[in-house]
Amino acid sequence: MPDLVRFGVSLDKSLLKKFDRHLAARKCPTRSKAIENLIREEVIGGEWLDGRSPVAGTLTVVYSHHKRQLVNHLLNVQHDYQPIIISTQHIHLDHDNCLEVIVLKGKSAEVQDLADRIRAAKGVKHAALTMTTNV
Amino acid sequence: MPDLVRFGVSLDKSLLKKFDRHLAARKCPTRSKAIENLIREEVIGGEWLDGRSPVAGTLTVVYSHHKRQLVNHLLNVQHDYQPIIISTQHIHLDHDNCLEVIVLKGKSAEVQDLADRIRAAKGVKHAALTMTTNV
Amino acid sequence: MPDLVRFGVSLDKSLLKKFDRHLAARKCPTRSKAIENLIREEVIGGEWLDGRSPVAGTLTVVYSHHKRQLVNHLLNVQHDYQPIIISTQHIHLDHDNCLEVIVLKGKSAEVQDLADRIRAAKGVKHAALTMTTNV
Amino acid sequence: MPDLVRFGVSLDKSLLKKFDRHLAARKCPTRSKAIENLIREEVIGGEWLDGRSPVAGTLTVVYSHHKRQLVNHLLNVQHDYQPIIISTQHIHLDHDNCLEVIVLKGKSAEVQDLADRIRAAKGVKHAALTMTTNV
């Protein structure tokens, strides 16, 4: 179970008013929730810059399946990084394109490395890395 | 099969030299590939800002499974957006946390809307949207 | 004088610990200050997306002064946007390049428009827009 | 004078069509210019991540001038970083707020360091760093 700590924050009244309006537009129920989200994004960003921190993330890859060698190449690259890959989901996006989501857990430098290698493969149209966290 | 067009680009010599060094560090095999990646990122960014463009994307969600109501709530929200959800993958990230990847295809405004609703749910720690494309 | 409001925030203990470590590394003195910064960035981002909000910002432009027509062109463009330009600072960055900082105040759509026009000028190497706020 | 190199790029026809539409909307006159901009942004991003590269940049600071100690503190901090500060421009943004733009040239780690110290000062509302380049 989460172990909650409560603390006070002082904020300029007019900034708080703008923030509340912003939250209403984004459907965010409470300030606490919104501030928690901002803090988590900030912490994740810091962990990502520091290559040694353990992170969780997903790599979204779109590629043309018409190149049969590409499918094998992507499998080979993934096997080189087997210890940091948890699982892979494959979607037939349309007639020409596949979308694959690779769930990753490891040091951010390794995760970034895998993303670079997949992005560099001929026929890969897009490889977007999303960093998240279990904290 | 992709229908390729070839065209010429003029670039300052010293900028090109820096770009080539940058590509070598990122393991990118050719300038054409790197430029294709930059162009695609730029086009995707534009489509995302324009809410009506059809996009493909993934939503990475991390949440604590200790709140049983949350799991039901997330399912309910997803059923409200059933036409734009292709599939969902679930990972037991650690003792406390689940990671879910939702693959989406729809107008970018709707996709963003779903992300906002899931991000706002109590117990959801992170909801990161990755926009991609089939072009 | 600023009119301060104080309110409470609840946060998971382990996330707060990571945040405190992150703040120490970035030399941030207090949590309140850090949270204020995050909130302001979020509000500014929202105002920027909504084209009608009044914003303040700076446009950093680097260009080669060897093209005399460019200098005149940049002046002409700026005069078209005179109502939203507060002032301009010019730096001789090196033998070939000028750096100009244009301070802007206006609707975010107009400000973005000016940035696009300057970025499009031949000989302009970089035109980076920084959005800020007076709140 | 710039020393131009010309090289060919191959691109999928439908991606190129979308890119051309995107450029028209952003008022960009030619593909070469747009690609040059994308490449420069990519190179600048790489230089910024590598702390030792020499960069040029601007720091946009908004603060309340009602705190007299703040003005002195900001001056003191800037003098600690005198070798990397080229010049400063000061704007009276409104009754309460000052906007200052500091033009910087130095290693990206030092520039980031100065930004962190100014951002941490009580009364500073916003400190946004824009990295640019003379290449």
Predicted confidence (pLDDT) per residue in B37-61, tens digit:
999 999 999 888 888 888 999 999 9
The mean per-residue pLDDT over the stretch A115-125 comes to 92
Mean pLDDT score, D10-17: 92
Cβ–Cβ under 8 Å, residues D61 and D74: yes
Cβ atoms A4, C10 nearer than 8 A: yes
- What is the structure's pLDDT at C65? 84
A32-53 pLDDT, tens digit each: 999 999 999 999 998 888 888 8
The residue type at D79: H
pLDDT over 70 at D56, yes or no = yes
Q: Which two tokens stand for residue D94?
A: 């409104």
Report the candidate in B58, B109, B111 with the shortest Cα–Cα distance to residue B83: B111
Residue range D108-131: average pLDDT? Answer: 93
Q: What residues in B contact A130, CB-CB < 8 Å?
A: 58, 60, 128, 130
Nearest to C9 among A9, A14, A42 (CB): A9
Q: Is D85 helix (H, G, I), strand (E, B) or coil?
A: strand
Which residue in the block uniquely carries the two structure tokens 């810091």?
A46
Chain C: residue nearest D58 by CA? C60
| C129 contacts C57 by C-beta, under 8 angstroms | yes
- Cβ pair B90, B108 in contact under 8 A: no
Per-residue model confidence (pLDDT) at position B109:
92
Distance from CA of B11 to the nearest CA of A (A): 22
Largest CA distance in chain C: 60
Q: How far apart are the first and last CA of chain C?
A: 12
Q: Which residues pair with C81 in a beta bridge?
A: none
**Contacts for A57 with CB less than 8 Å, ≥ 6 apart:** A103, A104, A105, A108, A111, A129, A130, A131, A132, B60
Query: Do residues C97 and C60 lie in contact, with contact meaning Cβ atoms separated by under 8 Å?
Result: no
**DSSP 3-state of D95:** coil
Buried b (16+ CB within 10 A) or exposed e, D120-129: bbebbbbbbb
DSSP, res B84: G
Residues 89-108 of B with CB under 8 A from A: 89, 91, 93-94, 96-97, 99, 101, 103, 105
Residue D8 has pLDDT above 70, yes or no: yes
| pTM assigned to the model | 0.88
Distance in angstroms (rounded) separating the CA atoms of residues D98 and D126: 11
The pLDDT assigned to A2 comes to: 66
> Is B134 in CB contact (< 8 Å) with chain D?
no
- CA–CA separation, D109 and B15 (whole Å): 22
Give the span between the Cα atoms of D91 and A124, in whole angstroms.
48
**Does the beta-carbon distance from D33 to C122 stay under 8 Å?**
yes
d(CA A131, CA A50) in angstroms, rounded, equals 13
Q: Which residue from D86, D88, D84 is spatially nearest to D106, judged by alpha carbons?
A: D84
Helix, strand, coil shares, percent, chain B, to 5: 45, 35, 20
Residues C76, B86: Cα–Cα separation, whole Å: 51
C-chain CB neighbours of A11 within 8 Å are 4-7, 32, 35-36, 39
Residue C25 has pLDDT above 90, yes or no: no
- Element containing residue A14 per DSSP (H, E): helix A13-25
The alpha carbon of residue C132 is apart from the nearest alpha carbon of chain D, in Å, by: 7
Give the distance from residue C133's alpha carbon to the nearest chain A alpha carbon, in angstroms: 10
Q: Do C103 and D91 touch (CB under 8 A)?
A: yes
Probe site for chain A from C1, C3, C16 (most A CB atoms < 10 A): C16
Q: Which CATH architecture has domain C54-132?
A: 2-Layer Sandwich (3.30)
C contacts of A2 (beta carbons < 8 Å): 12-13
For the record, the structure tokens of D84 come out as 């990397």
Residues C101 and C87: their CA atoms lie apart, in Å, by 8
Q: Do the Cβ atoms of D120 and C2 come within 8 Å?
A: no
Which residues of chain B lie closer than 8 angstroms to A62, CB-CB?
A: 56, 132-134
Question: Which of D128, D59, A133 shows the shortest CA–CA distance to B97?
Answer: A133
| Cβ under 8 Å to D: B residues 31-70 | 31-32, 34-36, 38-40, 42-43, 46
ipTM of the complex: 0.90
Domain ranges of chain A: 13-49, 54-132
Tokens describing residue A15 = 């900034």
Q: What is the pLDDT of residue D23?
A: 93
Give A133→chain C minimum CA distance, Å. Answer: 10
What CA–CA distance (Å, rounded) separates B16 from D32?
13
Q: Average pLDDT of D46-58?
A: 88
Find the residue in C nearest to A45 (Cα). Answer: C22
Distance CA D114, CA D105 (A): 12
What are the C-alpha distances in Å from B30 to residues A77, C131, D41?
A: 18, 35, 18
Residuewise pLDDT in 10s, chain B (135 residues):
568 899 999 999 999 999 999 999 888 889 999 999 999 999 999 888 888 888 999 999 999 888 779 999 999 999 999 999 999 999 999 888 999 999 999 999 999 999 999 999 988 999 999 999 877
Distances (CA, A) of A123 to A40, B29, B109, D28, D38: 35, 12, 29, 28, 21
Q: What is the C-alpha end-to-end distance of chain D, expressed in Å?
A: 12
- What are the pLDDT digits (tens) for A90-107? 999 988 899 999 999 999
Is A11 in Cβ contact with C5 (below 8 Å)? yes
| Residue A106 C-alpha, separation from nearest chain B C-alpha, in angstroms | 12
Q: Is D102 buried (19+), middle (13-18) or exposed (0-12) by CB count in 10 A?
A: buried
